[in-house]
Structure 1
Amino acid sequence: MTLAARLHDGYFQVPQDVSWKTIYVAGVDIGPATPGHFATEPPVDPAVYADWLDKIGVMGANAVRVYTLLPPGFYRALLDYDRTHLHAPLYLFQEIWLEAPAGGDLYEPGFTADYEGEIREVVDAIHGHADIPARPAHASGIFSADVSPYVLGWIIGREIEPHVAVITNQHHPGLRNFTGRFLSVRSANATEVWLTMRMDETLQYEASRYNWERPICFVNWPPLDPLKHPSTMPQREEISLREKELGQVFAPLTTVPDDLDVVSLDEEKITPLPDDPAGYFAMYHIYPTYPDFIFLDPAYQTAKDGEGPNPYLGYLQDLRAHYRKTPVLVGEYGLPTSIGIAHFSPNGMNQGGLSELQQGKALARLTENIRNAGYAGGMIFEWIDEWWKHNWIAVDFEIPFDRKPLWHNDLDPEQFYGLMKFVPANPRHWVDLWTAGTLDQFASSERTGKIVNVQASWDPSALYLNLTTNLRPGQRPDWSRVRYFVALNTCGRPCGSGMLAAAGDVKIRDGANFLVSIAGPVQTRLLIARNYNPYRKDLLGKKSDVTTIVIPRNLQTGLVQEGSFEEQVVETNRRIYGENGAVYPSVEYSRSALHYGDFSLNSDDYDSLGQFYYDTSTSTIRLRLSWGLLLALDPSEGLVYSGTDDHGKPVGGISREIRIAIISADLPEAGGAAAPFQIVAREFSGRKIQQALDMPWPTWSYVSSKAVLKRSYPAVQAAFRSVTAHSSD
């Protein structure tokens, strides 16, 4: 039997001459979906993977993980890389992806047999002995590259939802033990038995067919960990408490909920048998943002690292202490660089809202935490940004699903975990919407601070506006004395508010659903017309004065002549009840504040979160307005939010144009209303805008992009070199 790798004293070892070399795993997960494609449409060109692997290797990584069988080109590129980097190869963790059983029971007839077929297919492909016919959502082709010497371990399954484990265990209460050729499990539940059986079958097939062996694991995550978490509560208990204390009304639960802390998968119950010298390990996906008990459990809040309090480290230490005999690998950890935030966590390690530099610093800290907590290694999620993905906070505003890979939603953190991003392949094309001297009206021809040119552009992420002023180069607006307002109508029809009160009671015939108030680096906002805003405050229950954010049913988005504008506020962390009696309040934040920073990719001061910037070299106000922030459901075809249905789900309508009007206004020293001194529009009279500027809505069905390393890359590179420097023979 040939061992590709083994586990020893909690770490991986690989053959080195006649002995073994210990390696600490510092790796990255590869989700292969490039812009315009789903995960089931990965690149087939080996050159794409070769470029990725080169950059991953230079970053200091020693391993990559893939979630399913990729096209043959990936394995050819990996083999070529490893043969030319014999002293520093990139090892592979190969996952054998598991779909969710339709009825929730892993033992459903046919389900296991289908998965066993997947196992054999993947093992054959890794050994370069597979010719797989084309079929939907699967890799196909001739797999001739034998990468088996470089595969550190097999990964079985996926993040199993708690309801699947509960249903499987309920249907098979008598399945408690299993003994195979390589692995055994005792005093287990039926889910643990099923997973152990699949792992044993994988090892048996590879050993009998190819006479090779390597470590193996199944995917686990904190919702199914074997620890006890007092800051959470089963859903049925929480519903009962909310009904009693708050007067909330819930529909009866008709399915098994995905509760935290009610069922577990415990790898300590599994024992490698004498025929398994390679060993067995546990693998967890551990993020600082989910579940909330990672930062809410009181025991974790006392943990500290060199930078201060760190509940993430507390959880890592607690989990690692449970596994006395089993090595543990962190198979996923990461933080996204989206503008939008889906969850707030301590130490600024939020799910979103991090610049690329902040991402790098935070990942370096997490990398050291994992190393210092005694894990066998860690793998960052993920290598590239994947545009097709969805996060709960944004998914309802990303329709239709089949066109999602065509645009990148800045509000969706799930699309921004990568260390490499994609930007337009070609320079941005600007369209002149207006130039002074054609349609302008000024209070004084000598007035400074006037807008003299308006340009627009776009890409799959955002709408861009340049408002050039007549200020001298190097001069900045006096934000205490002047405001600029940009009224936008993205509906393609009259909608929003017909009154721009903040801009000096300017009226706009067809209305505006958004109003940008440009007031300097700190106070610039993108406001939304109240009747267009889907996010509404409501009482949490009939007996409560606690509020929550909801999306009501049957919202209409017509034109209100004298409507108001407000901030777009969302709820990120929902109210939580703990079994320890604690109540953890919800967390809200406003998306309306536009982050000040230079978003030009070529700038030395580039800020990946930048949405507003004043360029003193050209005296230009620059705006980057994300399609998601403008509630475009599918900007690639001009589908915009137009209300909600009977279930409170967003519905859309097609817009063919974006209407834009700009108001420049003085602010009186003693306060009071803004006094407009310039209106930029197609047609207006006094303070009444009859026709705004307009640009055709840009549509596209193909994405032309190029890959660019994020500015987090150097920090990760330094962290990887640090944690791998301690490996020894």
Structure 2
Amino acid sequence: MKKLFKSGLVKLGLVVVIAGGAVAYWLMPPVAKVESAEIDNGVKVKFKTNGTRIEQFQNQSWKPYFAKGVNMGAAVPGHFPGELEISKDDYMRWFEMVQEMGANVIRVYTILKPEFYEALVRYNAKHSDNPLFFIQGVWSPEEQLIEVQNAFDPKVKQKFEKEIREAVEAVYGNIDLEAEAHSGKASGKYVFNAGPYLMSWIVGTEWDPVMVDRTNKSNADVADYKGEHFQSKPGANPFEKWLAEMVDITAVTEAEHGWQHPIAFSNWVTTDPLEHPGEPLVAEDMVSVDPTHIAAVDWDAGYFASYHVYPYYPDFFTFDQSFQTMKNDKGEIDSYKTYLHKLKKYHNDMPIMITEFGVPASQGIAHTGMLGRNQGGHDDKTQGNMDADMFRQIHQEGYSGAILFTWQDEWFKKTWNTMHYDIPDRRAYWYNTLTNESHFGVLGMYPSKDDVIRIDGDASDWDKLDDGDKTKLDLQIEGFNEIWAAHDEGYLYLSINLSESLEFSNHSIYLGFDTLKGGNRHAPQLQGKTLDEGLETLIELDNEDAGQMMIASNYDFHTRFYGKLSKILAYDPQELEDDSGIFNPWKLVVNYLLEHPDARVDHPFGDIRVGDLPRGTSDPQDPNYNSKAIWQAKGNVLEIRIPWMLLGFSDPSSLSAISYEDTGTKEFESVKVEGVRLVPWIVRKDSKEVVGLEGNNPYPVSQLPLYTWKRWEDIDVDYVERPKQSYDIMQKAMREVNQPVNQPISE
């Protein structure tokens, strides 16, 4: 007995020793092992600029470096970025996936919570032969800049300078940031020194041109800035002098830690130094923020230019003939390639990186671009092909880096052409396929039933759902044997078993949806039938390849907002009357009407259909997988998933739908609804006979069963994380590229 007890003590002691070692490992920061060069007084440099390129110190020599990277946001589904809910385990998993894709750097926009820097240090300690580097951004006080319209305002300067110093200290693990109520800022004790894994600094955010212009006019007499490490050049405008000081503060603060890294400020096409003669909007070509007007002095790591360049915005990418002069590798006239060439040529004596580019994979579209490079409307595969093409073009033009926007999808994002239709403080709780900004990622964040219900015309996967996760709709309508409904953060799902196989040569199937009092009780699609309660939206499936979602004309957000409220879009007032009998295509605006003096030339209002419903399979294991697939039919089985906003929901998590009532302002009111009623019928094309809707006239829609669900909150949000097809395509493109294009160094 004693022997056993003694053995137990020995074993227990061993466990304690091992556990203590594990605790020590996770509490004690690993020492970064990064090869670097030393300059005066032992200052370390890992990356530096040399003429028009960036170089990395590797194997005891300086080698050309091309930054292949991804931007990484701060949010996961169910949360807003200020909540900083990404865990250390998430980061460790993501870092491995990022490197597996072929990237060598990630970019973050602002100070993240301590777990990010800890995870990066720990990850690189395990990958010391091939560390993952990062670009640290410093967030400028955007709201205050817009509010006061003057970057030299003492409160603005003080806040930005504080942010810069805190960012440097956070990177070097040397600060304890106190939590600030409602600030959305990271806080905590930063003890992990990630500085050796830093590739560069990028200071600031995209600059509002009106703010820059007013800053320049309000501070016309400000002196040139001459700092310890950076200065403005003669001819710099006041805003550029202000930026020179902000960049210098970054350098001065970092120098205290014995390191130097290349520094840039954030910039975008709107405030670039090029002329865009075909740009219709005056503000998009109003003022320049020119990186060549700032110079590094006594900063061996150097200085470079950073730009966000997307292919669809501003509009000159589509309309300006002076940017349609070059052909891409496919022999197509390509404004994106032309722009890259001109921008690189302008910065002929310094390195330049494109630190944001990409297109989103989404149902919604916000801008159209040349060669179909629209801001949205793409499936995952098309997204990948377009992103890879732009990545290759950036490399071919001799840039020093291409940082894709973005790594992960972020549900909280808003888009200018859907933000009037949703509830801002609940955006993070649901997956809105019409808000393209949420879907730029190559790591998809799909709604929770994505890995259970596959839209493929095979209803057997519905058997995997618990009884509480699906509802049988007792409709008892001719032509429909059985209908099941389910939902998640992204869609309303329907599994419909028909009485006979669908033959689209002679069948059109209609699915009407009633959510509110009002809508269409009659319509041509009803073939003379009348309903006792109106429909807000209607799905029509009448051909082999695609269907469409339509919206009752008096409920149509697009017509109401841009016609009745904004007086931009022509419309017939009778269409806004109850029971108009008209269903309109579901549309989103893609550009406003622009007129003098806001525009150089009159630019027409533009909109685009977004209610087209592709047929296909949502099973990622299927060779014919289409991320945008909405429905599939096989035999007498029809499966369909319907995006919430297409049904009129401003927030499905709180059962909120857009109201019929206008507030008198350019905002829509949301109202709570009980759920959704489904009204299905079939029309035989040859005889126009309606199958379903038999019996009473009007047909008693109000007596049909209601599909409803419980309100959900952030803690209830679930999601499926899965690399998109675009991940694999970008992996191929990134692995093709190891170094910059061989170009002479201009000293």
Q: Give me the TM-score of the superposition, normalised by structure 2.
A: 0.85
Query: How many angstroms apart in 2 are the aligned matches of 1:58 and 1:342?
Result: 32
Give the conservation status (yes or no) of the 8 Å contact 1:15–1:21: yes
Structure 2 matches for 1:110-509, cutoff 5 A? 110-135=155-180, 136-186=183-233, 187-207=235-255, 209-233=256-280, 235=282, 259-273=283-297, 275-307=298-330, 308-399=332-423, 401-425=424-448, 427=452, 429=465, 431-434=470-473, 439-441=476-478, 450-471=479-500, 477-491=502-516, 494-509=517-532
Task: Give the letter aligned to residue 202 of structure 1.
Answer: T
Query: How many angstroms apart in 1 are the aligned matches of 2:410 and 2:205?
Result: 18
Change (3 A) 1:537 1:68: closer
SS of structure 1 residue aligned to 2:646? coil
More strand by share: 1
Give the conservation status (yes or no) of the 8 Å contact 2:280–2:601: no
Q: What is the match of residue 19 of structure 2? A: none
Q: What is the match of residue 692 of structure 2? A: 678
Q: CA deviation at 1:479?
A: 1.2
Q: Deviations over 1:233-286 (max 9, x none)?
A: 555xxxxxxxxxxxxxxxxxxxxxxx111111011111221x111110010000
Q: CA deviation at 1:584?
A: 4.8
Q: What is the match of residue 242 of structure 1? A: none
Q: What is the match of residue 543 of structure 2? A: 520
Q: CA deviation at 1:396?
A: 0.6
Change (3 A) 1:548 1:480: farther
Q: What is the match of residue 104 of structure 2? A: 62
Task: Give the letter aligned to residue 165 of structure 1.
Answer: V
Change (3 A) 1:234 1:482: closer
Q: CA deviation at 1:604?
A: 3.9
Q: CA deviation at 1:523?
A: 5.3
Change (3 A) 1:104 1:583: closer
Task: Give the letter aligned to residue 419 of structure 1.
Answer: V
- Percent of aligned pairs with the same residue? 28
Change (3 A) 1:552 1:655: farther
Query: How many angstroms apart in 2 are the aligned matches of 1:326 and 1:696?
Result: 60
Q: Deviations over 1:32-52 (max 9, x none)?
A: 200111111123521110011
Give the conservation status (yes or no) of the 8 Å contact 2:141–2:159: no
Change (3 A) 1:556 1:110: farther
Q: Aligned pair 1:570/2:596, yes or no?
A: no
Query: How many angstroms apart in 1 are the aligned matches of 2:509 and 2:710?
Result: 25
Q: CA deviation at 1:509?
A: 1.0
Q: What is the match of residue 238 of structure 1? A: none
Change (3 A) 1:604 1:97: same
Q: CA deviation at 1:559?
A: 4.8
Query: How many angstroms apart in 1 are the aligned matches of 2:544 and 2:289?
Result: 49
Q: What is the match of residue 557 of structure 2? A: 534
Q: Deviations over 1:53-97 (max 9, x none)?
A: 110000000000001111111111111222222332211100111
Q: CA deviation at 1:142?
A: 1.6
Q: Deviations over 1:161-186 (max 9, x none)?
A: 11110121111001252111111212
Change (3 A) 1:41 1:271: same
Give the conservation status (yes or no) of the 8 Å contact 2:656–2:670: yes
Change (3 A) 1:231 1:578: farther
Query: How many angstroms apart in 1 are the aligned matches of 2:444 and 2:390?
Result: 21
Task: Give the letter aligned to residue 206 of structure 1.
Answer: E
Change (3 A) 1:265 1:692: same
Give the conservation status (yes or no) of the 8 Å contact 1:535–1:551: no
Give the conservation status (yes or no) of the 8 Å contact 2:648–2:658: yes
Give the conservation status (yes or no) of the 8 Å contact 1:232–1:576: no
More helix by share: 2
Query: How many angstroms apart in 2 are the aligned matches of 1:551 and 1:8?
Result: 59
SS of structure 2 residue aligned to 1:40? helix
Structure 2 matches for 1:632-711, cutoff 5 A? 632-642=649-659, 643-668=661-686, 674-679=688-693, 684-685=695-696, 688-690=699-701, 691-701=703-713, 702-711=716-725
Q: Unaligned stretches of 5+ in structure 2?
A: 1-42, 454-464
Q: CA deviation at 1:686?
A: 5.8
Query: How many angstroms apart in 2 are the aligned matches of 1:157 and 1:551?
Result: 43
Give the conservation status (yes or no) of the 8 Å contact 1:500–1:508: no
Give the conservation status (yes or no) of the 8 Å contact 1:537–1:550: no
Change (3 A) 1:559 1:297: closer
Query: How many angstroms apart in 1 are the aligned matches of 2:473 and 2:434?
Result: 30
Query: How many angstroms apart in 1 are the aligned matches of 2:709 and 2:420?
Result: 22
Equivalent of residue 625 in structure 1, options 639, 642, 662: 642
Query: How many angstroms apart in 2 are the aligned matches of 1:262 and 1:281?
Result: 23
Query: How many angstroms apart in 2 are the aligned matches of 1:532 and 1:18?
Result: 68
Task: Give the letter aligned to residue 200 of structure 1.
Answer: D
Task: Give the letter aligned to residue 229 of structure 1.
Answer: H
Q: CA deviation at 1:601?
A: 4.7
Equivalent of residue 7 in structure 1, options 49, 58, 66: 49
Q: Give me the TM-score of the superposition, normalised by structure 1.
A: 0.87
SS of structure 1 residue aligned to 2:192? coil
Query: How many angstroms apart in 2 are the aligned matches of 1:509 and 1:556?
Result: 20
Give the conservation status (yes or no) of the 8 Å contact 2:553–2:576: no
Give the conservation status (yes or no) of the 8 Å contact 1:537–1:548: no
Give the conservation status (yes or no) of the 8 Å contact 2:364–2:588: no
Change (3 A) 1:18 1:339: same
RMSD between aligned alpha carbons? Answer: 2.6
